[in-house]
Amino acid sequence: GAVVSQHPSWVICKSGTSVKIECRSLDFQATTMFWYRQFPKQSLMLMATSNEGSKATYEQGVEKDKFLINHASLTLSTLTVTSAHPEDSSFYICSVRRLGRYEQYFGPGTRLTVT
């Protein structure tokens, strides 16, 4: 397996503010990290793929200027939700993939509530 941490585990912010979520791979260097969001009683939806040292690849319909992803090192990726609105309230989960393997290991998730 692999240990992945996320910080914070939950956050409440006011509409119009920005929030940064950190994802750390604790067991190995992750050249690729993924960001998902999950609405209540729904499955995971991929938002973007984050590659260390290069720009993230966003899925169709995900606003790259709103969801800023920075994969600054082989163990850290950050997701910044800019100018958050109540509809951005969701469960955000990151995952990491070991080089040469296909399975992804997920973090514990971050619950974002925008008021």
Partner 1 sequence: EDQVTQSPEALRLQEGESSSLNCSYTVSGLRGLFWYRQDPGKGPEFLFTLYSAGEEKEKERLKATLTKKESFLHITAPKPEDSATYLCAVQEDNYGQNFVFGPGTRLSVLP
Task: Name the site residues for partner 1 (rule: CB under 8 A).
Answer: 1, 4, 6, 32, 34, 42-46, 49, 91, 93, 95, 97, 102-109, 111
User: Which residues, in sequence order, are CB contacts of 41 under 8 Å at separation 6+?
Assistant: none
When the beta carbons of 45 and 83 are compared against partner 1, the nearer one is 45
When the beta carbons of 3 and 72 are compared against partner 1, the nearer one is 3
User: How many beta carbons lie within 10 A of that of residue 30, not counting itself?
Assistant: 30
When the beta carbons of 10 and 63 are compared against partner 1, the nearer one is 10
The least CB distance from residue 38 to partner 1, in Å, is 9
Q: CA 111 from chain center: how many Å?
A: 11
Among 41, 71, 39, 38, smallest CA distance to 80 is for 71
